[in-house]
Amino acid sequence: MKIILEKRPFKSKKMALLSPLLAIGLTVFFGGIIFAMLGLNPFRALYVYFIEPVTSWWSIEELIVKAAPLILIGVGLAICFEAKVWNIGAEGQLTMGALAGSMIPIFFTGWQSPLVLVAMLVLGALGGALFGAIPAFLKTRFNANEILTSLMLVYVAQLLADWLVRGPWRDPGGFNFPKSVTFEGWQVLPTFGDGRVHIGAILAVVAALVLAFMMAKTLKGFEIRIMGNAPRAGMFSGFSPKKTIWFSMLLSGGLAGLAGICEIAGPSGHLQPSISPGYGFTAIIVAFLGRLNPIGVIFAGVMLAISYLGGEAAQIDLGVSARISQVFQGMLLFFILACDTLIIYRIRLMAGSDPKTTRKIMAEAGD
Amino acid sequence: MPKAPHKQSTNEAPLLEVQHITKMYGDLAANSDVSLAISKGEIHALLGENGAGKSTLVKVIYGSLQPTLGEIYWQGEKITITNPAAARELGIGMVFQHFSLFDALTVAENIALALPGKLDLATLSDKISTVSRDYGLPLEPTAHVADLSVGERQRIEIVRCLLQEPKLLIMDEPTAVLTPQEAEQLFLTLDRLASEGCAVLYISHRLEEIKRLCHNATILRHGKVVGHVDPQKETANSLANLMVGSDIHTIGSRTANVRGEVVLAINDLSAPPDGPFGVALKDVNLDVHSGEIVAVAGVAGNGQGEFFDAISGERAGNTPQAVKINGNDVGNLGIVARRKMGAAFVPEERLGHGAVPEFSLSDNVILTRYATGDAIVASGVIDNTVANDIQIRVSDDFDVRKGVPNPEARSLSGGNLQKFVVGRELDREPVLMVINQPTWGVDAGAAALIRQALIDLAGRGAAILLISQDLDEIFETADRIAVISRGQLSDARPSGDLTLEEIGLMMAGAHEKSDDKENSEAVSA
């Protein structure tokens, strides 16, 4: 007896849109089971986790603070994944963006001018883009798998950041704590409301709108869609696969870098060994949950921000580990991919085991 | 080399006999009332053009297709072959044209994967060595497939079959990927197998090979058997005649257009193969004048894809002079620059190359026309209404039948999509049209419409290069004909001067001028 996946003749558009909602529903359901197994009242736990974070003004502000980097990175990744370029290393590009942007306040501590902020943001984006250029180069020049190279470079970036804040960039007046000097004045992002929401949130929404326009209306968006969909037809159309790889890696790297410097110049206010709670990885879930659509990514970013806040709330109110948010994020990605798989394929049970047929079906399914 | 006549004992039933096999795909009969018999120790040729139904028949015998009608007898007993595993159990082995081997694994590992049951690799390696030595197929069991030549890879497939001690071995165009020396080695192996009593069903369109190797030949045309012959008693010409079918052609008496200036000039064009089964182009020369249709005939897989890509510019990187459009060197320019000079291209594969299956028709208009002065794109922004207007115009002009106003390309039938893909280019009034297999897999009505559109375009003064395997189509439309074979192109000759025999011979490689051929003659002498 064999279980095989068989491609469905037609994809259901309705199901493709319903899939993220279905995935969220399944995550909540199985999350409730996990809470129950931990001996908690699942309904109260789910309320604390998913609902409470949006019931008070300060927590909504916190939601925006967390959603901003997820959206900023997520829209870049959505474009990348649409072109079937698998940048898994946004976390590293975020880190390098944070480091590059921080050079200004660290090396020119006394410099105060609006230009400082602009220079920090530009350097941040540039740092992320250049770090994204490494997998792009390796892919276009040597056909190295970008999933591996971009992922491995995350650890390079994180170890570099760790060394810098413990070593050369450590605040001389910081009592040996592993952190840089504290940023001040024009070295931090302008904020709104109670002082946590910063202009990174505006940048995120602007980026999503611009990229939504690009994908829907411009030749560049057409190029990305065609290269991801039918590369041979893309070449026939006159586009270069290599240019598409470069464009999507630089774009997603640059946006991740921008998110990185916004984290440091926003909520943190200084460099420290760990720069983000895994925004670069969570943004992969955001991109898929948002159906690789920049507008969808805005909603998905908010959804995943709730999972971070809910994790903190669950730790405080319910006394469970904050790791619960990673469990929820993992379940969410699992269910999205599972739903998508079942929308494109159907499962068939097959008696007997003729390796030739199985291989043939696998080959057909694999395209 | 004279062939020893194959001795068949008269009282024994043939090893395999297929009777009145018919295989229908919808209304199309891929095989119609096909019968043939193969006895022990016989090398039986299955001969025919591409699309003649050879593969269908073989798939029926190998169990991967079930016939609509007809019977199969194995050693005199009526049987049904439900799947390839059942065929292998009977003792039928098949060597495919395209191999299914894992590059990263060794020869022995690859063979172990294909054999049923658990195997000890060391024992298997010994067996492989023995079999490969006995049959003159040298193979190193521990070698990695990635390091092997195509000929050596084929040996793996053959040894894989031989280890199962087949009674009937099916070879699908085995020499298409071999050098002449490797081919000669293969012939010796097959002779040896036949002398030991194994029957071979040998599929090919290379006539000399069949004369050299086979005892009997069954010739298919348009899914029907047109003859059972003894290849020894036939000439290459008479075989070509049977295969191509001179009786059904009426050479078109199309009035010649006024031939104008050279629009497309190809000078000493060479190109590497586009993959492991690709064919390199060698010093191709051809001129196409305005007002004429020049056809490139040839059996699939002789470099047509590489030829098309080099002219379209999809795989650029030639010397600038290798391709000229209206006197401009374009050999190093991409496809968009060539389109801007008035060239239009229609590739062989509609879905995924000429059109994106998941895109709407209007998006598929953008695919080839965003840069050619249709005002579809202004400062990087696409105007979908312009694209949709073109889509509607093309659909009306070329009778593209669709269920909704702007459907996805994949929802159209083959003929309708081809009409759209051709119409999209003709709508631009190109000065040069390069089109590869324009009516492959297209219904007769659409094919006629497309051919007529090409003739009309030439009548309006465009130059047309038509790459096709369909000789009917070529004689219906072309002013001059050249033949491509193993990446070499013959001189183009007026179609009125050519007979089908000559074309059949050229398709089988008669015009090739490289050293390979001389070597192969030296070996077989």
A257-268 per-position pLDDT tens digit: 999 999 999 888
Q: Is the pTM of this model over 0.80?
A: no
* Mean pLDDT calculated for residue range B471-497: 88
The encoded tokens of residue A7 equal 């491609």
Which residue's entry shows tokens 């047109």? B226
Q: Which helix (H) or strand (E) holds B199?
A: strand B199-204
8 A C-beta contact, residue B62 and residue B87:
yes
Report the topology of domain B262-520: Rossmann fold (3.40.50)
Say if A359 falls within a structural domain.
no
Chain A residues inside the 8 Å CB shell of B357: 230
* Mean pLDDT calculated for residue range B207-218: 87
The encoded tokens of residue A264 equal 């440091």
Q: Which residue type occupies A255?
A: L
- pLDDT above 70 covers what percent of chain B? 89
When the pLDDT of each residue in chain B is averaged and rounded to a whole number, the result is 84
pLDDT exceeds cutoff 80 at B500: no
3-state secondary structure string, chain A?
CEEEEEECCCCCHHHHHHHHHHHHHHHHHHHHHHHHHCCCCHHHHHHHHHHHHHCCHHHHHHHHHHHHHHHHHHHHHHHHHHCCCCCCCHHHHHHHHHHHHHHHHHHCCCCCCHHHHHHHHHHHHHHHHHHHHHHHHHHHHHCCCHHHHHHHHHHHHHHHHHHHHHCCCCCCCCCCCCCCCCCCHHHCCCEECCCCEECHHHHHHHHHHHHHHHHHHEHHHHHHHHHHHCHHHHHHHCCCHHHHHHHHHHHHHHHHHHHHHHHHHHHHCCCCCCCCCCHHHHHHHHHHHCCCCHHHHHHHHHHHHHHHHHHHHHHHHHCCCCCHHHHHHHHHHHHHHHHHHHHHEEEEEECCCCHHHHHHHHHHHCC
Chain B residues inside the 8 Å CB shell of A222: 363, 366, 370, 382
Angle (CA) A276-A278-A282 rounded to 5° is 130
- Architecture of domain B14-91+168-174+198-245 in this structure: 3-Layer(aba) Sandwich (3.40)
pLDDT of residue A9: 66
When the pLDDT of each residue in chain A is averaged and rounded to a whole number, the result is 88
Q: Give the count of domains, chain A.
A: 1
pLDDT of residue B439: 83
pLDDT exceeds cutoff 90 at A82: yes
Chain A residues inside the 8 Å CB shell of B312: 236
At B355, the pLDDT band (50, 70, 90 cuts) reads very high
Angle (CA) B183-B187-B193 rounded to 5° is 140
Give the model confidence (pLDDT) of B334-354 as tens digits: 999 999 999 999 998 888 899
* Mean pLDDT calculated for residue range A71-80: 97
Beta-carbon separation of A237 and B368 below 8 A: yes
Q: Which helix (H) or strand (E) holds B493?
A: strand B493-494
Q: How far is Cα of residue A240 from the mean position of the Cα atoms in its chain?
A: 26
At B199, the pLDDT band (50, 70, 90 cuts) reads very high
pLDDT of residue B180: 65
Q: What's the gap in Å between the CA of A9 and the closest CA on chain B?
A: 11
pLDDT of residue B522: 38
Residue B433's closest CA among B491, B389, B490, B477?
Answer: B477
Report the residue of A8, A219, A364 to disrupt the B interface, i.e. the one with the largest count of B CBs within 10 Å: A219
pLDDT of residue B148: 79
At B519, the pLDDT band (50, 70, 90 cuts) reads very low
Say if A79 falls within a structural domain.
yes
Beta-carbon separation of A232 and B381 below 8 A: no
Residues 6+ apart with CB under 8 A from B503: B244, B297, B471, B481, B483
Measured CA to CA, the distance from residue A181 to residue A173 in angstroms comes to 8
Q: 3-state DSSP: chain B helix, strand, coil percent, rounded to 5? A: 40, 25, 40
Rounded-to-10 torsion of CA A356, A360, A361, A366: 140
pLDDT exceeds cutoff 60 at A367: no
* Mean pLDDT calculated for residue range B89-114: 86
* Mean pLDDT calculated for residue range A239-244: 95
pLDDT of residue B135: 83
pLDDT exceeds cutoff 60 at A78: yes
* Mean pLDDT calculated for residue range B138-161: 84
Give the model confidence (pLDDT) of B264-296 as tens digits: 999 999 988 877 667 889 899 999 999 999 999
- Kind of pairing, strands B69-74 and B77-79? antiparallel
At A206, the pLDDT band (50, 70, 90 cuts) reads very high
Those residues of chain A whose CB sits closer than 8 Å to some CB in chain B are 217-220, 222, 225-226, 229-230, 232-233, 235-238, 354-357, 359
Domains of chain B by residue range: 14-91+168-174+198-245, 96-165, 262-520
Examine domains B14-91+168-174+198-245 and B262-520 and report if their fold is the same.
Answer: yes
Measured CA to CA, the distance from residue B263 to residue A268 in angstroms comes to 66
Most confident of B242-251, B445-454, B515-524: B445-454
At B249, the pLDDT band (50, 70, 90 cuts) reads very low
pLDDT of residue B518: 41
Measured CA to CA, the distance from residue B383 to residue A238 in angstroms comes to 19
Domain of A173? 59-299
Tell which wins on pLDDT, B524 or B100: B100
Three-state secondary structure call for residue B402: coil
Chain A residues inside the 8 Å CB shell of B84: 354, 356-357
- Kind of pairing, strands B381-382 and B377-378? antiparallel
For A162, B502, B511, the CA distances from B490, given in Å and listed in that order, are: 68, 12, 6
pLDDT of residue B318: 77
Report the residue of B118, B119, B365, B382 to disrupt the A interface, i.e. the one with the largest count of A CBs within 10 Å: B382
